[in-house]
Structure formats: C-alpha cells, structure tokens
Amino acid sequence: MPAEVSISPAAHPRRSCIYRVLQQAGARFAPVNDAAIAVDFGKAVETEVAQASTMGIADLSVLPRTGFKGAGAVEWLTSQGLAIGPDSNRAYPQPGGELAARLAPTEIFLIDGLAGTGELIRRLNAAWSWGSERPRKLIGYPMPRSESHAWFIVTGNQAPAMFAKICGVDLRLHRFAVGAIAQTSVAKMSAIVIRADLGGTPAFHLLADSASAEYLWTCVLDAMAEFDGAPVGWSALRELAGGG
Amino acid sequence: MTGMNRLPAPAGSLLDRSKTIAFQFEGRTYEGFAGDTVASALAANDVWILSRSFKYHRPRGILTMAGLDANTLVQIGDEPNVLADRRAISEGMIVEGQNYSGSLEHDSETWIEMFGRFLPPGFYYKAFYRPKGAWKFWEPFIRNRAGLGKVNTAAHHGYYDKEYLFADVAVIGGGPAGVAAALQAADAGAEVIVVDDGAQLGGSLTYARFDSNGRSGRALAEEAAQAVAARSNIRVLSGAVCTGNFADGWLAVIRGNRMYKLRAKASVIASGALEQPAVFRNNDLPGVMLGSAAQRLIRHYGVRPGREAVVVTANADGYAVAADLVAAGLAVNAIVDLRPDAQPSPHVTAAQQLDLRIITGSAAVEAVPTLGKRGISAALVAALNDDGTADAAAESIPCDLLCMSVGYTSLAHLLHHVGAEFAYNDSTHMYEPASLPAHLFAAGSVAGAHDLDAVVAEGRRAGSAAAHDAGFGAGAEPPAPIERGDRHHTHRWPIFPHKRGRDFVDFDEDLQVKDLVHGAADGYDDIELLKRYTTVGMGPSQGKHSAVAAVRILAKEMGRDLQDMKVTTQRPPFVPEKFGHMAGRVFEPGRRTAMHHRHIELGAKFMPAGLWWRPAYYGKPADRETAIRDEVLGVRNNVGLIDVSTLGGLDVRGPDAAEFLNRMYTFTYTKLAVGRSRYVLMTDQAGAVIDDGVACRFHDEHFYVTATTGGVDGVYRTMLFWNAQWRLNVDVANVTAAYAGVNIAGPRSREVLQKLCTDTDLSPAAFPYLGVRLATVAGVPCRLLRVGFVGELGYEIHMPAHYGEHVWDAIMEAGKPLGIRPFGVEAQRVLRLEKGHIIIGQDTDGLTHPYEADMAWAIAKGKPFFVGQRSIAIQNGKGLTRKLVGFTLTDASAPPPEECHLVVRGADIVGRVTSAVRSPVLGKVVGLAYVAPDQAEPGKSFDIKVGRGRVIQAQVIPIPFFDPENKRQEM
C-alpha cells in the first residue's frame, strides 16, 4: 500500500476489539468492508512474509464471518450452495475461499476468505428469514459470530511449538491436518483452532471470546517471544496465500 | 586457579576447562570451570561444608552428589533452597549457606546440639504450652529458627512457563536401561521422548567403573548418545527431571524454569537406584559420602574427593570405588566389607592386585571428627558378630574421606505415584515392584537388575513392550537376561547404633537410631505413625536415604518381617518444585467491553464483575461519595448513560421457545406479545432464586432473554441441561459477548435517543414501557428495550459488539448539549435501591425462595410446571421464617447500616440487612432487610445491630421508596 496513507480504525463504526493494541505496535490500516484492517506494521512486505513464515500473528477481526446452528442448519446451507462434508471438527473450503467449520453435527461457523469481500456471508445472512410457511420449515438459526468472537491467525513453522506452551492439544503438523478443528482451551480460554495453511506456510485460525481479545493477543505474543514472533499485516498473509 | 583438588583431564567429563568462572560463597570468591556445579567447584577448592543441619546445626557436606539429598541446600541471591550439587555456577553468582547464626563455618547455634536430649522427636507435642501463655513466649523463638532459606517478598518475578509434550513412549532415565528401551521403541516406529537429569546421556555409565565388556563406561555412554542422536524419532530432554507421574500417562518434567506436561501413551521408568548410607556414629559429617558420590566428583567434575580414604562396602561396587580412588591419587587405607567374605568379582580381584587392605566381616562404627566437626580424621572399624552387632573393640584407621557402598534402594517414586505395588525381596534385601498399572513399564536397577548386560536386556524388553502397548511393533519380544545380577548389592542391616548416639538415620531431620526406637516405644508402631511422629522421611529429601532404614529399624523393634511391611507412600514431586513452576505464566483472563477505553478516558474507577471489568464510578477514590451522588442525581434529573454490555444475553429460538421459557422461569410467556418484554425469575430445583432478567419477544419463535452478569453462564448451562432431557424444539445461544449494551436513563433520555434513532417511533404511545423494538441507532441495527431497573424513563440499547464504541460516542455527542453524564455500577445500585428492586445474590441468598423475597407476583398461577415449582409450594406451605422488606431508620441522622448487619430481637437473630444507602433524592436512609414475618408490615419496627455492639432502630416502609406509582419509568 502507499507508504504514508494509513486510515484510522476509529474512522469506521465497526472496529476490531484490539485496534489500539495494533496501533501501538505500529500498524498501518486500510479499509476493507466498512472497517479498517492492519495491512502491515511499517515493514516491507518481504520482511513480514519472512516473519509470517516462521512466527507471526495477525488480527482478522474485522473480516466477515457468520454462523448457523440448530436442526436444519446444514441442510439449509447446503441448499444455499455450500459444500459441507459429514465430519464434525472439520473445516470445509468453499469455492470463494471461505471456510465452513463444522463444529458439531448441526453447527457451522463460516469465515470469509482472506480477501474479505464477504459476498457469501452477506448473501447467507440476507437469505435467512423466519419465513411465512406454517408449520415453519426448520433451517437452523443465525449466530452473531462476527461479534461474539475475535479472529486471529497464527502463522509459521514455529506455530505448533508456540501453541504447545498455551494449548494442550497436539497441534504438530503431522498430527493436526489441514482442515482439522480443535475446540479447546488456549491460554485458559475457550477457543476454536482451525488449521488452514497459507500456501506452504502452516497457519492456524484462532477464534475466541471477543471480550477477551486483548488478553488473548497478549498471551500469544508472550508465548511467541521465544521464537522471535511478531504481528504481521494482511498484505503479508495474502502474499503467502498466493497473491490477490 | 580453579582448585587445589582438581584432577587433570580426562577426568571432569562435564567441564569446559577453557572457561573459568568466578563466584562467591559465604563472602569469599572462588573459581571453577564452566560445567561445574556449586558443590563441585567448592570441593575443588577444598570447601566441604555446604550447610548446617536442621536441628543440631551440625556441619553437612556432599552426600549423593546427585541432587538427591538436602545437605547441599544453599541460598543463591534471592533464591532459597537451591541444590548446590545440581546448580551450575555462573559468573558473579552469590551463594550463601542456610540455617546458621554468624557464619556457616562458625555457626553460633551449635550449642543446640548439647541440649539434644531435650529435643527428642515430638518434643513440641509435649512442651511449650504450660503455663498458660507459654506458647506466646516460645512461638517467636521457634519461628525464628524454623525453616530453611530466606524469601524476599519484594523479589523480582522470575519468568516461568510451561509446555505440553506428546510421545508414544516416554522413557524416564537416560542410563543404559533407558537408552536401550528408547532405541527399541524408536525402531518399532514409536515417537520417543527420553527424560534424563544428567547433562549427558548414560546415567551410571558416565561415572561408575564397569568391567563387564572390557570397555569403559564412558565409551558405552558415547555409543549410546550417538545411537540415540541417529534416530530422528527420539527426542532427549537433558538436565530435566520427571517430578511426577499422574493418571492417564501424564508426566510432569521440570527443566530450568519450564514445566513440561508430557502425555505419553506408554512409559518406561528406568530411573535407577540410589545408594544408601550406612548408619553409624557421625555418619553425617563432611567427608562421609556415598561411593557413587566420590565417583561423580572424579569422573564428572575432575575433583579429587579427599586425600586418604576408607571404603565401607557390602558389594562389588565398593571395590570399584576403591580402584577409582586409587587412580585419582588417594591413598585407600582400608576396604571394610560388612560381609564375612567378599563375593568373587573382577573388582575384588583388582583391589587385591592393588594390594589394598581388605577387612571382611567388619564395619565402620564411628567417624572421628576433626576440630569443630568440619570433617573427619579417622574411621573406627570393629568386627561384626553373627547377630549383626559390632564388637566394642575398634581399630582407628586414618582417613579424611569415608565412602559408603553398602546397598541401594530403587528410585521407584514414579511407580509409586500411580499405585504400583511393592514387595520386599528377602534374597536381595530390597523392595521391588510387584505389579505395575497398565501402560507402565520398568527396567534396570529400578526394577532390581544390576548387572549391566541384564540392565540393557531388560531395557530392550521394556522398550519393546511399551512400543507394542502404544500400538507399534509386531516383532518378537527381546530375550530376557539369563542373570539379573540382583543379589549381593544391598546389605540387610548396615545399621550400627552407638550408645552415645549421633548415628543418623535421616540427615534432613537430624534423626538418630534411638529417636526411631523411642518413637516405636511411645506407641507409634506402624511406619505411617512413626513417620509422622518422628518426621522421618518428611524433610526435603523425602526419605530417599532414610525410608528403608526406618522400616528396617521398626521391623527389628517390633519383631516383624519386612515382607509384611511397606515403605510409606511416595507422592509427587520427586524432587523439590517451585510455585513458579506450577504457576507458569501468570495471566489472568479479563473481559472488557467495547467501551472500555472510553471509560478509562472518562476517569472511571473500575471494579471486577466476575471476569469482566466495569466502571464503579467516574472520578478519584477520594471523591467517591460525591461522584456517585452526582451520577445518581444526573440520572434522576437529566440523562445518564451506563455501559451494561456485561449483562447476559441469550437467544432462545424455535417452535417451543415459549414453552421452554415457561418451564425455565416462574412467569408465563405463551401469550407475551411480539414487541413486548416481561420479567423473568429463575429458581432452582430447591426453589431458591438464582437469576433474573427480562424476556423480549422479537418473533413468535424468538425471545431475547437477559440475565445477570455473573449468572448468565450458569443460566445457559442449566438451560442446556434441562433441554437435553426435555428435547423441546428450541435452540439456545449465549450471545452475551456479541452484544454491547448501554442503558440511557433519565427524564431527557428520549430526547437524546430521538436524535440518533430515526427509523422508529419513540413516542410513549408507539413504544410503551416494557416494549422492545429492532431499530437503527447511529446507523447501527440494535435491539431496543424500554426498561425500568433504575426507575426512570430509559432504554437499553443492545448493539453488535464491534460497534459499541461508535454508538457510545454517538450518544455522548448527541447528549452533550443536554449535559449527559456517564454513570457507573455504584450509582445504578443506589438508583435501583430507591425503587426497591432486588439484586440477585445480594438481596437473595442461596436459600431465598420467591415468597420470602416478596416476589410471589412473578409466579404464574396455573402453569403445570416450572423448575422449582414444587419446592416453592412446599416451602410456602411450611410458612415463612423471614421476609424481605423495605425500611428506613427511626433516627434520620444515623448512618446507613452495612450489608449483613444483623436484625436482632433480644438475643435472637431474626434476619439481616441486604442493601442500604442514604438516598440523595429522598434525603434519608433506605434499604432492604430480612425480618421476622410478624415484623414485615409497614409501620412495624425492628432492631439492627451495627458495629461495636450498637443497636439502632429501623421501620418497615413500603416499596418503591421513590416514585411509588412508577410514573417516571412509564413516561
């Protein structure tokens, strides 16, 4: 992005829970979907790509996400064009780059692709309604996942070693496959961990209580320090994922 | 110069002689090499006293040289109780001894030993309490002397952390058995983690003398290390100690400041065995040490352990020690063998060939101390009678080093931790594992094998079995050794009581043979009782060198068979752990609302509400009362804004949503109109009130139900619990964190909100009290609720959390011309109290049922069921024992009573105050209290016992205190 142009997150009504922490770390922001995302931390993209390849963390909290749960949810989503496999604790990639994380037989947490355009999510949120048929057809219920959860992504080949300090699930690459989901405790908090590599770089989505976002970010940064971890921006992630 | 006792290379396998390190001990500077421990560097410099014993302040020095005794506990800077034989020296380190007055060398408290006869075990049960008040005199004196080391409460926090590890097979112990097991398991395909406390793999191979293959232990150790390094599926944690074995293959391992939490499918314990001391007079002094300790000093640290030695032994290992001492330049003046004849062994032959004097059928019965007992000058050696006692006549043999190799006990603690059973083997004189729990295997000397080939063979077998147990390897079991080499290592009675005592069984606790004998005679005749009465095995070493001796002595005193007795239970940790290890990184989860930083900017004083942080009031603590008062008046007279994001929110949706609420709460919801809300009151199965809130109907099948900040998680849980049984067609979602919330309250609140909410008619007719709407506020879609908790016209605005700061800013901006003021939890509590509204958990307790709290109006009549219904009916049928009422004080100038001040009637307690405040608006004290049922009518008086025994009078008055017709909130 252009060197000195950086918008303020407070210029938008919708703000990440940790925008001040990101500002203090030197983040520069650009608009995406009516909010401001940290595109970098003042370093060249190659530097941040290298950082992200070993040990990095980024805040994706302003990117679109949604969820649906309850009887009929998966059938309805399938009818809306999603491809959802049968296993729980598995994330199913969608054609637009979104990930449908099946948390339970009748529960889907849908996160947008890195580009964050949010088309699928907007469409699904708009498509859900109570309907007028009686008896009402059960199609599950929408969940406010964009608000209840903060969304971080932890990247790099040191990520499993770092997670081993704050999470009791074996996240080593040969034990936790791409697409696997752990609903577990990270730094004493309930969290959802989804492995979703960016190109050849190991990457883990970390979704947890939005009210505890500052706490969780601090814990992860502390655990990363041993591996010279640092925050990275959106630009570096998109570079790792293969541009665009 | 790094020490007068330093031996040339290749002695000192752990040293890097290219780096010298200077450190201080007891105020003097010494030099050692990189790789030295504090104890080895001091020994190299001929400093042998490391501590003063706990009770008698006797000088103590190296005993095990393996971190398995408490003689080496020293203070390093702010860190007390560091094992000097494990801690590496570092440049500028400041080390001090512990437990002395004056100096370690010249402890002025050694006089205590003269009064030893007044300090037998258990003396403190029999003294210090008469005459009455005696304890007050003695306590400071005793407390001053108790404890080891100094804690600096202002010390800088260390960085401790934790890490999870996963293995198919964990191998504890990197000696020959452990390495063999690891290689076998790895070759079967398992992921193996080896935990070894040494700086280098090999265990006893690195310090003992081996002759079985004609190769030295060092070469075998190097081979072992290379074989392990060649396998990518073996990870070695060196310098790491496994401190505990817990259920389901969970092992605690400590290295430095990190605790590893290792989960293994199967574990092999190859932790080895520890030599045991012989018991004789003055066996505790510096200069008396285990044979293996002397070997560690020589091979690991290149330190000559003395100048002239006597070796007391009952096995071949003592002869090997003697050979090592000779090779290190000591004069070995005698090998004293407890056995009538030495079993043939290459080590015995070697000693004979060295022309060493060997005295069989004898024992050292006393070590002769040097001046001040800072060392020894000779050993008194006497012949043994057939019954194991020593002859009176003894020969004095000069020595400054007395090595003991009289036997072993297995370091089987990790097996004990998970309930392995042990049995005494009468032919080996040792306790051995008799049965092991599932997924646990043992190999090497911990399981009784001492012959090197047997140890390796059993290691392979254990590794193969463990791998197989973990799901790997289908090959045949490796062969069992022909000869285990389990006998002739441990003497059955290496104990020589002396009539003048100082024959120590437990060095940590300064316990002599007679202390245990007298304890048994006092009636503590079971080892569990004897342990707790005498404290044997209860010191920092936890019985590593005393537990078996104690059982032997007790067996002899009681005429019992060791096979019928057990050592006391071993529990984690195996070696001392710090609280820092257990704590790891101390991060406390904290939840912040979206408006948190705005509150900081406005000068809020925060208070915790569960994990959340909420503004209590805005202002400095010195101005607390004024701030709260002004906030209250700001709401009553104008408009105020409070952040209520923390309040619980649940989306209850589905065809059976109303029915579900009917069952969960006391009221009824089937006929609640869409666009309206109704109070919810939840009771548990015992009929006790547990939470409240409002249910807002946004659709036939959708209720947005609020709950208290502290109660919502429990409410959510109980809803899921009940519906798992009822299977109603309903979905419950805890959306508390998804919605930020504010309550804008006060007569001008509508005026402010109208500026920001243009798509919804806020007029009283269109949006009446208790109505709910979906509306857009400041461009954000919100849930709007008209509520009355504080008794003024007000709206709760629930918005998506990530918009919280924006909406707060917009409201504050819109309200600025009207003088809008933020208010906090304290002001809110006053406001609600002026209306007589209860707070669950403050005005109710764990037993309060709705009738007691005057909430019968919230119970729907005619419902077939709700949780708690039957219990409430039963409680009510029994008649009330107390009732919650509103009150004011008879004396208007008296200060408000505090929460939990008692309501008394004569000598009886009939209730208590739950809330009380001086109302800024009413200008008098109002509150809520439980009183006796016959006091519960307006006009009746009752007494409140406030501080210092004063009793003040209160009067029951009707609720609400303010705006009794509720006109203001229904505007």
Contacts of B597 in chain A (CB under 8 A): 20
* Candidates B589, B612, B801; nearest CB to A210: B801
Residue of A164, A215, A222 lying closest to B163 (CB–CB): A164
Q: State whether A138 and B165 contact (CB < 8 Å).
A: no
The residues, ordered by sequence, that sit 6+ positions from A24 with a Cβ below 8 Å of its Cβ are none
Q: How far apart are CA B216 and CA B153, in angstroms?
A: 49
Any A CB within 8 A of B440 CB: no
Q: Is residue A243's pLDDT more than 80?
A: no
Nearest CB to A147 within list B165, B166, B739: B739
pLDDT of residue B175: 97
In this predicted structure, what is the pLDDT of residue B157?
A: 85
**CB distance from A34 to chain B under 8 Å?**
no
Chain B within 8 Å of A33 (Cβ-Cβ)? no
**Of B758, B723, B754, the residue nearest B650 (C-alpha):** B723
Q: Please state, in angstroms and rounded to a whole number, the distance separating the CA atoms of residues B510 and B500.
A: 15
Those residues whose C-beta lies under 8 Å from the C-beta of residue B760, and which sit 6 or more positions away, are B767, B773, B775, B776, B784
Q: For A55-87, what is each residue's pLDDT tens digit?
A: 999 999 999 999 999 999 999 999 999 999 999
What three-state secondary structure class fits B517?
A: helix
Sort out which chain B residues have CB atoms less than 8 A from A222's CB and list them. Answer: 585, 587
At residue B843, the pLDDT reads: 97
Taking 50 as the pLDDT cut, the residues of chain B under it are 212-214
At residue A3, does pLDDT exceed 90? no
Q: What is the pLDDT of residue B269?
A: 98
pTM of the predicted model as reported, rounded to 2 decimal places = 0.92
Identify whether the C-beta of residue A211 lies closer than 8 Å to the C-beta of residue B593: yes
Structure confidence by residue, pLDDT tens digits, B894-922 = 999 999 999 999 999 999 999 999 999 99
Residue B212 is predicted with a pLDDT of 44
What residues of A are in contact with residue B701 (Cβ under 8 Å)? 130, 136
Q: Which residues between 209 and 238 in chain A have a beta carbon less than 8 angstroms from any beta carbon of chain B?
A: 209-212, 214-215, 218-219, 222-223
Buried b or exposed e, range A43-68, using 16+ CB within 10 angstroms: bebeebbebbbbbbbbbbbbbbbbbb
Q: How far apart are CA B4 and CA B43, in angstroms?
A: 9
A70/B589 Cβ within 8 A: no
CB of B357 within 8 Å of a chain A CB? The answer is: no
A11 touches chain B (CB under 8 A): no
By the 8 A CB rule, do B298 and B291 touch?
A: no
B contact residues 742-801, partner A, Cβ 8 Å cutoff: 778-780, 800-801
Structure tokens at B715: 């409410």
Give residue B2's pLDDT: 67
- Whether B655 sits inside 8 A of A144 (CB atoms) is no
Q: How far does the CA of residue B354 sit from the closest CA of chain A (Å)?
A: 55
pLDDT digits (tens, 9 = 90+) for B245-274: 999 999 999 999 999 999 999 999 999 999
Give burial (CB, 10 Å; 0-12/13-18/19+) of A73: buried
pLDDT score, position A85: 98
Residue B882, helix vs strand vs coil: coil
C-alpha span between A191 and B686 (Å, rounded):
34
Alpha helices in B257-389 (DSSP H): 291-301, 316-327, 346-353
Report the relative pairing of strands B504-506 and B511-512 from DSSP bridges. antiparallel
- The Cα–Cα gap between B900 and A64 comes to 50
pLDDT at A117 over 60: yes
Strand, coil or helix: what is B140? helix
Q: From CA B200, how far away is CA B209, in angstroms rounded? A: 17
Closest by Cβ to B164, choosing from A20, A35, A168: A168
Of B164, B731, B738, the CB nearest to A148: B738
Q: Residue A83: in which H helix or E strand, if any?
A: none
Band (pLDDT 50/70/90 cuts) for residue A119 is: very high
Mutation target for A interface from B731, B803, B809: give the one with most A CBs within 10 A.
B731
SS3 content of chain B, % helix, strand, coil (to 5): 25, 30, 45
Contact of A146 with chain B, judged by CB distance below 8 Å, is answered with yes
Give the bridge partners for A108, in sequence order.
A68, A102
Of B162, B612, B802, the CB nearest to A14: B802
| A62: nearest CA partner in chain B | B802
* B779 to chain A: closest CA residue: A13
Residues 6+ apart with CB under 8 A from B714: B690, B691
Rg of chain A over Cα atoms, rounded to whole angstroms, equals: 18
Within 10 angstroms of residue B229's Cβ, the number of other Cβ atoms is 11
Neighboring chain A residues of B780 at a CB cutoff of 8 Å: 13
Partner residue opposite A188 with nearest CB, options B589, B597, B701: B589
Calpha distance B472→B465 (Å, rounded):
9
Of B541, B525, B544, the closest CA to residue B533 belongs to B525
Tokens representing residue B810 in the block = 């917009």
ipTM: 0.96
Instruction: Tell me if A170 sits within 8 A of A176, measured CB to CB.
Output: yes
Q: Are B441 and B269 in contact (CB under 8 A)?
A: yes
Distance CA B442, CA B458 (A): 8
For residue B219, the 8-state DSSP code is H
CB of B904 closer than 8 Å to CB of B941: no
> CB of A16 within 8 Å of any CB in chain B?
yes
Q: In what order do the strands lie in the sheet with A181-186?
A: A181-186, A189-195, A203-209, A149-155, A56-59, A230-231
B-chain residue closest to A212, CA distance: B591
pLDDT for B52: 93
Within 8 A of A69 by CB-CB distance, chain B residues are: 731, 733
Q: Give per-residue pLDDT as tens, A152-200.
A: 999 999 999 999 999 999 999 999 999 999 999 999 999 999 999 999 9
